[in-house]
Structure 1
Amino acid sequence: MIFNRLFCNRGILFQNFRQHGWIGILYLITLLFSLPLHIGTEYRDLPQQITSLFQANGEVQILFAITFPVAAGIFLFRYVQSGAPSDLFHSLPLRRKHLLTVNLLTGFIMILLPIWITTAITGWVWAALDQPAFIFGGSSIWMWGLSMSIYSLFMFMLTVVVGMCIGQSVLQGLTVYALLLLPVVVWFIFSLHLQHYLLGYPYDEIGRNAEKISLVLRMASISGAPVIGWELIIYSILTLLFIPLSYVFYAKRQVESATQAVTFTLVKPIFRFGLMFTLVLIGGAYFTIIAPRGSSGWGIFGYILGGIVGYIGAEMIIRKTWLIWSSKLLPKFALYGIVAGLILYVPVANWNGYVIRVPELNKVNSIKLGGERYTYTNGVSLKVDDGPFYLSDSEYMKAVIALHQKIVDSDLSLLDDPINPGMRNDEYVFINYKLDNGKVMKRKYYIPEAEFRQELMTLKQTQDYKRVAYDTYKLEEDALSIGIRSTISPYLKVYISNPQQVREFKELLKQDIMDQTYEEQRSPWQSFAIAEMNQDSSSNDPFQPKEMWNFEIKPSYDRVLDWLKENKLYEQLEFSVDEVASAQFVKQEVNSPGNPQLLYPQSEYVDGNATGNKQVATKNKKIISQLLKRQRSGYQTERDTIYQIKLNVTQGENIYMILKEEDLTEEMKAILAGQ
C-alpha cells in the first residue's frame, strides 16, 4: 500500500497520462506506420532477404526513437524547470524519490508500450503475409523490439539526467543532442588536429566509427550496418547507470535552481570548458582548412579565436546575460586556455617519440598495407577479415620498414597539408604493424614518389605486395565465369564461361600481374579492358546472386592479350577505326597553385566549348588509330596543359578522352599547329 500510494501515486500517474499521454499515442502511430505498415504494403517482384528489421525503413524508426523519448523526458519533468510548477510539486506530501519514481514509471510505460505493441503487430503481419516484400525470421522481430526499447530508454534517461543539471527545458533538449554529437565532433576534429600536426597519424575510418558512437548519426547507417551485441550492452549499461544518477542529482538539486541555465556549481566549469574546448577545435580546424598552403599561423589563430568565443558564450549562457565582465574573467580564461593548450600540445609534442618510432624487424609479426575493407552482404555492410592481408615474408617486411624509416628520416614537411595533400605528395602509404606484444601500430603518409622511388620500387616489386595490392589471391579461387568489357566502349564485351578457358585466363592474368615492373604499376595509360570474375555468392539475398571482382587488363599484359587474340576474343573488344568519323581537340590550360584540380574526360569542354579555345577537328585515320590505342587516366595537377578529345562515332555513343601535351604524337602536333 505504501509503495502504491507514494512511489506509484495514482493521482500523479493519471495526471501525467492525461496531460502527456499524447506523446505515447503519437509514438505508437509513427512506429506502426514506419514498420508493420511499411512491411505489409511494400511490394517487390523478388523478395529481399534481410537480417534485421532496421533494413526496412530503419532510418525513420531511429529518428522516432531519438525524438519521442526526449520529448517525454522534457514534458514529464517540465515541472522542475519552471518556477511556479516546481514550488507546487515540491510542496506535495511526497518525497523527491517518490516524484521521480512515478514520473520515471510514466515515461517507461509511454515508451515501451508503443514499441511492444508495434512488435506484436509486426509479428502478426509477418505471419499473415502470403507474398512478403521482405524475408526475415521471427528472431528479427524480437531483436527489433529489444533494440528499440534499449535505444528509447537510453534517450529518455539521458534526457532526465541532463534535466537535473540544466534548469531550462529548451537548453535541456539542446544539451541532450549536443552530448550525443559531442564525442563525434571532438573525436573527428581532434583527429584532424593530430593529422595536421603529427606526421603519420592514421586518420582513417572516422566516419564509420563515428556512426557507431552516436545515435543521431546512427540514422544514416542503421539500415546498412547491423545492430551488434556490444552496442546494445553499452547502451543498456548507460541506461541503468543513469537511473541511480537521476535520483542522486534530484536529491541534491535545489528548488530555486529552476530556470537557471546550469543547476549545480560543479557542473558549471565542466559546461564552460566543454563548450570552450569544442569551439577551440572547430575554430582551429576551420582556419587550418582555409589557410594558404604552407601557413601554420592561421590554425593557431583559429584555436585562440575559438577559445575566446567559446568562453564568452559559455559565460553568457550560465549568467543569462551579456554583462559578464568581472575581475575574475581573465584569470579564469587564462586557466582554461592553458588546460586546452596542453591537451592540444602534449599529443603532438616531439618528445613523445610518436613521429620517429619505427618498429624493429624482430618485434614485428606481420604487416598489412592499406586501410580496412568492407563487403556488402544481405544488405548489410560488414568488415572483411583482414587476417589474410597481414603478410610475414621477410623480404616484404624489410621493404616496408625500410620505406618507413626513410620517411621518418626525411625532411617531409607537415606544411604540405596532409589533410588535403597536393600533387607533390602523390603516393599513399598506410602501414599496419602487428607487433609481438599483440598490439597493432598504424601509420599513414602521403609522400612524393620521386623522393622515395627506390624504396617504393623495392616494395612494390615484391610478390607479396602484388598478391594483396592486386587481389591475385582471388584468382586462385573458383570462378563461374569471366566477363570482359572494353574501357573505351561499354558495348564491347565478351564472356568466358568454359571452365577450361576460365582457368587458363585466370592463370595468365595472375602471371601478368605478378610480373609487372614498377613502371608498369605506375603507368598513366588507361587499361585496355576490365575483367570481371563472377563467383558463387555467400549471400542469401536474391538481389546479390554472385560475388564479383574486377581486374584491369593493362596494355602491358602480353600473355592475356595474346590469349584473347588466339581465342578470337580480342577483335570483339577492339574498337574499329572505321567506326570513328572524326576527332576533335580542345586545349585546356590548368594554372591553380595551391589548388590541385582533378583532370578527366569532360564532354562539356568539347560539346559546350567550356574553355572558349578554338577546336581542331581531323578525319586522319592514323591519328584516330593512335588515339584509340593510348588515352591517359584521370589525374590531379596544379599546373599543366592537356587536350580534351572527342571521337565522333558513326553509331552509338561518342568517346571522350584526354592527353597531356607531351603525349601528342608528331602527327597530332602537326594537325594542331596547322590550325
Structure 2
Amino acid sequence: MPSKILSFNRGLFAQNLRSVGWIGIVHFLLWFAAIPLQLLMAYSQQKDSGHYPEWESLYSISASFQTMIVFTLPVLLSVLLFRYMQGKQSSDFMHSLPVQRAELFCQQAMFGVLLIVIPIVLISLLAIVCRYGLSLSVPLTIGDIIRWMWETAIMELFVFAAGVFVGMMTGMSTLQVVFTYILFLFPAGITVLLLANTSFLLVGFSADYYLSKNLEKIVPFYRYLNLETKSLTTGESLVYLLLIILFLIFAIWLYQKRHSEAATQALAFPALRPIFKYGVAFCTMLLGGFYFGVTQNQFAWILFGYITSSLFGFFIAEMVIEKTWRVFYKWKGYVYFAAAMVAIGFLLHLDITGYEKRLPALEDIRQVYFGSSVYDFVNNDKRPYVPFEQENQFLKEKENIRAVYAFHRQLAKDQPRPSRFTDQRQVVIGYVLKDGKRMIRQYSVPSKSYFSYYKPILESKEYKKNYYFLLRDQGYSPIRQITFRHPETDERTLTIIEPQQIDSFVEALKADLLEEPASVMLDAGKAWKGDIEFLQSDGDTFLLSWKKTYTHVEKWLNDHHLLEKAREDVE
C-alpha cells in the first residue's frame, strides 16, 4: 500500500498545471533557444559555408545564458509553487483542504521536480537528434549530452531545493529570492571574511594560504560555469544529491511546524530572528573590517569599520524583521553583541593558543620556503612552467634553514604589523617538516630594519639559484638571441646573435648575479630602466633588468665596443 504522504492528488496537480505549468513551458523554450536552436543554426552555417562552431561540449554553447537559466528558473519555480504560504488568506485556504501538510508539500515539490527534469530530458533528446540526424560536424557525442543532462538536472534540482528550504523560513517572496542567492554565496563569502579579518588581528596568519584551496568550487555559480572544462566528480555529485535531500527534508519539517500567521513576516519563526539579526551584524562587521583593512591597513581604521558596519547591519536587520525604520530604541541588543565581539577580539589578542609565537623544532625541518608568495609555496612543484625570477623554491641547505629560522624567530618576537608609512615587503616563511606536515606564516616586514636577517639568505648561492632562472643548472633551453630594449619606447638598442658572444655574455651576467648584494636585490630602483631579453631555442623568452651594479656585463659590453649602443639614449 503506497504511503499516504506520497499519494497523488489529481486536483492539486490540475491546479498546479493551470497556475504554474507555464514555468515548465518557459523552461523548455529557454533551453531550446540555448542549445537545439544553436545546433540548428550551426547546421545552417555548415551547409552554407562549410564552417561550424568549435564546440567541445554542450556547455560551450551559450555558457552564460545556460548559467542564467540554471540559477533563475528553479528559484522562480520554488517561489511560485509555495507562494500561497506568503499570504494569510491563501495559506488558510490551502491548509483547510482535506490534505495532510506533508502530502501537500510533497506534491508541490514533486511537481517542481517534474517541471525541471522533463524539459532537460527533452532538450537532451533534441540535441541528440540535431547532432546525429543532421550529421553535424561538431565533436559532441551521446556521452557528452548525457553528462550535460545529468549535471544540469542535479544543479537545477539543487537550486530548486535550496529555494524551497529558504521559502519555509520567510513569509515574503522577495526575501525568499534574496535569501536563496545569499545562501549560495554565504559559505565562500563568510570563509573569506573570517580568514581576512583573522589575518588583521593575528600576526603571521596567512589568509591567502587557506584561500588558495580552490574555495571557488563551493560557489555553485562558478562550479556550473566550470563544468565545461571539469565535470562533476562522483563525490561532488553525491554531495549535491545529499544537499538536495537534506534541503527537502528540513523544508518539509519546517513546513509542518510553520504557522499560517507567518505569512507576510520577514522571518517565519521567532527563533530565527535573533540569529538573523546578530548574523547580519556579524557579517557586515567583518565586511567593514575587511574593507578598511585592505584600503587603510591600520588597526584604528579597521576598528572604525567594525563599529560602523556592525551598527549599520544590526539596525538594517531590525528594520527587515519589524518592517519599519523605527527600531533605534532597541540599542541594548547591539550592546550585547558589541560586548561579545570585544571578548572574542580580546581572546584573539591574547593569542591563547600560542599561534603567533609558535615555531617548529629546528631539527624537525626538512626544507624551508622563503619568498613573498603564498600561492607559490602551495603550488610549488605543480606549476607547468617556471618564471624567470621565482621566489618560490625551497631551501634545503642547513645553513639557509638556520638563517630563515632565525629570521622567523625574530619576527615572532617583534610581531611587526602592516604600516602605510614605512617601506615594507611581504615575507612568507613556510616549513616542510620531516613527517610531511607544513607550517606557514606571512608578515609585512620593513626591509631596512631586518636587513641583517635578509642578507645571509639572499646572498646564499642556493637562494640565488632558485631566484634567478639563469643560474640554474637545468630548466631553460639554449639561448640564441639577446636583446637590449630601450626603457621608454621598448625598442631594440642592441641585439646579440653570435653564439660565442652569447655564451661569454651569459657567463659575465652569471658572475654579476652571483655577486649581487642583498641591498640591490631588495632595492628595485638600482636598475637601468630597461630590460635584457633572452630568446631561447624553443621560442620562449624571459627578461632580466639591467642593473647598475652589473660590472661584469658593463665590462663585457665595453670590451666588445657595444656599451654605448646598448645604453643609447638611456640616462
Match of residue 274 from structure 2: 269
SS in 2 for 1:352: coil
Tell me by how many angstroms 1:46 deviates.
Answer: 10
Residues 59 and 222 in structure 1, CA contact (< 8 A), matched pair in contact too: no
Tell me by how many angstroms 1:445 deviates.
Answer: 1.7
Residues 58 and 222 in structure 1, CA contact (< 8 A), matched pair in contact too: no
Match of residue 432 from structure 1: 430
Change in Cα spacing, 1:438 to 1:565, as seen in structure 2 (3 Å) is: same
Distance 1:2 1:140 in 2: 37
Residues 84 and 91 in structure 2, CA contact (< 8 A), matched pair in contact too: yes
What one-letter code is carried by the residue in structure 2 that aligns with 1:317? Answer: V
Residues 476 and 536 in structure 2, CA contact (< 8 A), matched pair in contact too: no
Gaps of 5+ in 2: 387-391
Match of residue 195 from structure 2: 191
Distance 1:496 1:136 in 2: 48
Distance 1:401 1:74 in 2: 58
Residues 115 and 145 in structure 1, CA contact (< 8 A), matched pair in contact too: yes
Q: Which of the residues 531, 534, 542 maps onto 1:531?
A: 534
Answering whether residue 236 of structure 2 is matched by residue 235 of structure 1, we say no
Change in Cα spacing, 1:494 to 1:250, as seen in structure 2 (3 Å) is: farther
Tell me the TM-score normalised to structure 2 length: 0.80
Match of residue 26 from structure 2: 26
CA deviations on 1:243-291 (whole Å, 9 max, x unpaired) are 2112211121122222221112322221121111112223334455566
Residues 108 and 153 in structure 1, CA contact (< 8 A), matched pair in contact too: yes
Shifted more, 157-166 versus 432-441: the winner is 432-441
Match of residue 91 from structure 2: 86
Tell me by how many angstroms 1:75 deviates.
Answer: 0.7
CA deviations on 1:605-646 (whole Å, 9 max, x unpaired) are xxxxxxxxxxxxxxxxxxxx5642x5xxxxxxxxxxxxxxxx
Tell me by how many angstroms 1:425 deviates.
Answer: 3.4
Answering whether residue 200 of structure 2 is matched by residue 202 of structure 1, we say no
Change in Cα spacing, 1:90 to 1:60, as seen in structure 2 (3 Å) is: same
Match of residue 303 from structure 2: 300
Distance 2:148 2:107 in 1: 27
Residues 363 and 436 in structure 1, CA contact (< 8 A), matched pair in contact too: yes
Change in Cα spacing, 1:495 to 1:626, as seen in structure 2 (3 Å) is: closer
SS in 1 for 2:360: coil
Distance 2:230 2:483 in 1: 35
Shifted more, 514-523 versus 301-310: the winner is 514-523
SS in 1 for 2:533: strand
SS in 1 for 2:324: coil
Tell me the TM-score normalised to structure 1 length: 0.69
Distance 2:53 2:398 in 1: 47
Q: Which of the residues 454, 460, 463 maps onto 1:462?
A: 460
Residues 481 and 496 in structure 1, CA contact (< 8 A), matched pair in contact too: no
Shifted more, 169-178 versus 488-497: the winner is 488-497
Answering whether residue 544 of structure 2 is matched by residue 552 of structure 1, we say yes
Question: Which aligned pairs between 1:480-491 and structure 2 lie closer than 5 A?
Answer: 484-488=482-486, 490=490
Distance 1:399 1:297 in 2: 34
Tell me by how many angstroms 1:337 deviates.
Answer: 2.8
Match of residue 69 from structure 2: 64
Distance 2:404 2:64 in 1: 43
Answering whether residue 443 of structure 2 is matched by residue 445 of structure 1, we say yes
SS in 2 for 1:189: helix
Distance 1:56 1:375 in 2: 34
Tell me by how many angstroms 1:94 deviates.
Answer: 1.3
SS in 2 for 1:413: coil
Tell me by how many angstroms 1:57 deviates.
Answer: 4.2
Change in Cα spacing, 1:247 to 1:531, as seen in structure 2 (3 Å) is: same
Distance 1:224 1:433 in 2: 36
What one-letter code is carried by the residue in structure 2 that aligns with 1:349? Answer: L
Match of residue 247 from structure 1: 252
The structure with the largest strand share of the pair is 1
What one-letter code is carried by the residue in structure 2 that aligns with 1:96? Answer: R
Residues 505 and 553 in structure 2, CA contact (< 8 A), matched pair in contact too: yes
Distance 1:113 1:284 in 2: 47
What one-letter code is carried by the residue in structure 2 that aligns with 1:303? Answer: Y
Shifted more, 121-130 versus 554-563: the winner is 554-563
Residues 532 and 551 in structure 1, CA contact (< 8 A), matched pair in contact too: no
What one-letter code is carried by the residue in structure 2 that aligns with 1:449? Answer: S
Residues 160 and 246 in structure 1, CA contact (< 8 A), matched pair in contact too: yes
Match of residue 283 from structure 1: 288
Tell me by how many angstroms 1:553 deviates.
Answer: 5.9
Residues 168 and 255 in structure 2, CA contact (< 8 A), matched pair in contact too: yes
Distance 2:8 2:481 in 1: 69
Residues 111 and 152 in structure 1, CA contact (< 8 A), matched pair in contact too: yes
Tell me by how many angstroms 1:78 deviates.
Answer: 0.7
Match of residue 103 from structure 1: 108
Change in Cα spacing, 1:405 to 1:549, as seen in structure 2 (3 Å) is: farther
CA deviations on 1:329-356 (whole Å, 9 max, x unpaired) are 4554333333333444433433332222
CA deviations on 1:556-611 (whole Å, 9 max, x unpaired) are 66888999999x9x97xx9959xxxxxxxxxxxxxxxxxxxxxxxxxxxxxxxxxx
Change in Cα spacing, 1:458 to 1:478, as seen in structure 2 (3 Å) is: closer
Question: Which aligned pairs between 1:135-534 and structure 2 lie closer than 5 A?
Answer: 135=139, 139-204=143-208, 206=211, 209-216=214-221, 222=226, 226-229=230-233, 230-288=235-293, 296-324=299-327, 329-368=330-369, 369=371, 370-373=373-376, 389-410=393-414, 412-414=416-418, 416=419, 422=420, 424-436=422-434, 438-471=436-469, 476-477=474-475, 479=477, 484-488=482-486, 490=490, 492=492, 513=513, 516-522=516-522, 523-524=524-525, 525=527, 526-533=529-536
Gaps of 5+ in 1: 377-381, 417-421, 536-545, 578-624, 631-675
The alignment of Structure 1 onto Structure 2 pairs a total of residues equal to 547
Tell me by how many angstroms 1:448 deviates.
Answer: 1.5
Change in Cα spacing, 1:527 to 1:36, as seen in structure 2 (3 Å) is: farther
The root-mean-square deviation of aligned C-alpha atoms, in Å, is: 4.3
Distance 2:85 2:475 in 1: 66
Distance 1:486 1:142 in 2: 55
Q: State the identity %.
A: 25
Shifted more, 405-414 versus 444-453: the winner is 405-414
Residues 193 and 290 in structure 2, CA contact (< 8 A), matched pair in contact too: yes
